[in-house]
Every structure is written in C-alpha cells, then in structure tokens.
Amino acid sequence: MQKLRKMLRLSLWVLAGVFIINMQTVSFAGEDISQGSHRFLLGQKNDKTGLVDSFINTDDPLLRSQAATYDLALAGLGFLKLGDVASAQKILMFFDRTWTGAGFCNFYETNSGACGLEKIAHLGPNMWVALLALHYTQETKDDRFYPLARQIALWGMRLRHEEGGLAMGMAMDWGTNWTKVFGAESNVVAYSVFRALASMERGRADQVSFELEMQGIRDFLNKIAMRRDSRGRLKDIVVGYGVSGGVSNVVGADVISMMLLVFNTQELQAFFGVNETILTEIATRQFFVYADGIRGFDFTDETVARTIPRPRMISLEWTMQMACALQGHSDGLARSWVSEVDKKMLRSRGAIFYAYATKSGVQVFPFAPWWNTPRGNLERCGSMASTMWRLFYEKGFNPLLL
C-alpha cells in the first residue's frame, strides 16, 4: 500500500509537470480575466433588481432569467473582489429585504425577484449568502448585513440534526423529504459560517453555540461521510446520507474540494487524520478524467456515472474549486488544472465566461434526475458559477475562509 501511495504521489506531480508545459500556450493576463469577468457580471445583471442570471445563451427555457441563490452569492463575492462594492451591496440588499426567517429559495426570477425554478430553501445556498454577508462586512467595515448572516446561521441551527450534521431543508419538494437528507458538502460550507461567527460574536454563549455546531459537523464528517478501510485509512468521502436510505454510496468531487477549502493542514490532521496529499490523491483517482479535449474533474466517479448511465464529463466549476483549494499548497498542480479549463474560455463583446460542464443536457447524479447540465451550444453557453470560481483563482481568493 505504501508503494502504491508513493506511485500515486509521483503520478500527480508528473501530471502537473506535463500540464505546466502545456499551460504556456493558454495562459492569460490576470487583468484580462478580471476585466472580462466584470463585463460578464454586468451583462448578466438586471438593472431593476440587481440580480444576475446564472446562465448565458442556454437553450433551456427553464433556466432563462433564473438566478440560483448560490450563484448570486458567488456573483456578489465576485463583485467584491473586483472592487464593485455597489453591485455586491445591491445583491445583499435584495436578500436582506427578502429574508422572512424561513430561508431563501434555491432560485429567484431575475426580473421580478420572486422565487424561481426551485422554491425550496436548502442549507448550502443559504450558507453561501451568509458567507457573502460576512465577507462584505469584513472587506467594507460596513456591518449592516452582519445580522443577516447571523440570522441565516440560526436558521440553519434549527434544521433537523443527525449524527451532528444539519439537514438539507425544512420541507419536502421535488419528491424528497429534505428534513431527512444530510449533505456533506452543505455541512462543510455551514462549518465555515459557524467558524466565522464564533470568532466575530462578542458574547461567550453565542460563541459556544456556534462552536458546538462545528464540533457536530466534524463528528458527522468523521462518522458518516468519510469511509475508511479496516486499518482506519481513508478510502473515499460520500455525499451524505438519508435517514430512510442510510449512508449514500455516491461520491462527489465537491465534498473533497470544500474540505480542502475549509480546513487547513493542521485541522485536517487534527480532526480527520488526513492531509492535502491524501485528499488530492483520492480526488484524482476517482474524478480526474480526460473528456471533450481537456483534463479535469468529473462530478462523480466512473461507477456512479455508469448507474445513470452517462458519459464522463468535466465540471469546469468543480475543477476550478479544486484549483482554488490547492492554491498555496500545490501551486503547480493547481495552475495545470486552470490551464486546462482556460482551453474552454468563451468570449463575447469583451466578456469572459466558462460553460458549466463539457457536456450539454446530461444528468449529473443518479439520485437527482432534475439536475442536468444546461442545454446549449457549448461554444456560447456560459455559467456564473464556473466563471466566478475562475475569477476567485485569479484573485487568490478562498471564499470559505474568513
């Protein structure tokens, strides 16, 4: 096993070396990425509501004039990193006046501001809004949206808990009882919010309440999400579990990238007995593929893809998440992945953007038949999430670290 581990490490660095050579032909100036991304953001922005469309040039009518709450948070963070505080503020003002205490819808209609394609409120997107509010507070020293972040966190704490983890939601929708579904990725994002609030709150009682939630999430990840062999060594990380269906056998690349973004080297070792190299090896072994002319990370491993069935494809968004996660740890490897994603860069009237994935209209996960990659010509169809994660890498920005 030790020999295999050494071979895997060597293969990672060989891949990095090959990609860095290729990268020279597709590298772009940071200013070009920043200006192009800002132009894309402004082009997606609705002047009346301040909301931004999640997709551009999609052939799917359900996705037109739709803003995923997660994407809105990413866009707000993108505006912040580009120095466009007014645009970030307008997104936060929308969320602040929309808050009712019951969580934000997963999607909003960008022309009206009404709940959009998915009216259910899920843990992950709400926590991303909290992260936007906290980053805004930290960067501008304007604390008007800090109470919103705190209220979102308290809403999350009221969700059903199992094994220390937080449920995905408070209701049933899309044929699923979300009070009985516990996602690893959304819990890791919630951990980032609780950690920030624990350090920013002045009252000791509030600090302790957030710290207890953090401990619960660590327990959830150790007991439920992280699967180990008979010797206690990490094999893989699953996407979560359902109360009725048990622990999922499905693995997703984003769980690993989120853990790498949230936990530093010392925390990974202290809390989970792993390090960046182990997680990167698992991610590369399970998710790293060559598809559609580039190398990058699929949403799932080959076993999961076969159960749908679907061909392997690359998530440009999740590949960029991995690159952001390893920035500062394995810079050569991270840059190599970015160089591959940049082969799919799209330009239009000075805007720069990226597709959601390298295949159009394909189901992503077997348990979510409604989750498909956007339909459209991949030479024109762009995604807010992929574009923002590429911008975050350019800015050396980790949105999950405050």
Query: How many Å apart are CA 296 and CA 204, to the nearest integer?
Result: 44
Distance CA 387, CA 402 (A): 22
Residue pLDDT, tens place only, 170-224: 988 877 899 999 999 999 999 999 999 999 999 999 999 999 999 999 999 999 9
Per-residue pLDDT at 30: 64
CA geometry: angle 96, 371, 374, nearest 5 deg: 85
- 183 near 124, Cβ under 8 Å? yes
Contact (CB, 8 A) for 121 and 130: no
Predicted pLDDT of residue 22? 42
Neighbour tally for 233: CB within 10 Å? 12
Rounded Cα–Cα distance for residues 237 and 146 (Å): 33
Q: Which of 280, 276, 277 is nearest to 297 (CA)?
A: 280
Long-range CB pairs of 11-15 (<8 Å, 24+ gap) are 11/284, 12/280, 12/281, 12/284, 12/330, 12/333, 13/332, 13/333, 15/284, 15/295, 15/333, 15/336
Q: Which residues of the chain have pLDDT under 70?
A: 1-30
Q: What amino acid occupies position 21?
A: I
Q: How many CA atoms does the CB half-sphere of 87 hold within 13 Å? A: 24
Q: CB–CB of 352/316 below 8 Å? A: no
Contact criterion met (CB below 8 Å) for 373 and 362? yes
Domain ranges for the chain: 286-402
**Distance, CA of 209 to CA of 205 (rounded, Å):** 6
Three-class secondary structure of residue 241 per DSSP? strand
Block residue for tokens 């998710």 = 287
**Which 3 state secondary structure label does DSSP give 183?**
strand
> Residue 307 and residue 297: Cα distance in Å, rounded?
18
pTM: 0.93
How far apart CA 295 and CA 241 sit, in angstroms, is 30
Q: Give the H/E segment covering residue 67.
A: strand 66-68
Enclosing H/E stretch for 316: helix 316-326
Q: Tens digit of pLDDT for each residue in 48-80? A: 999 999 999 999 999 999 999 999 999 999 999
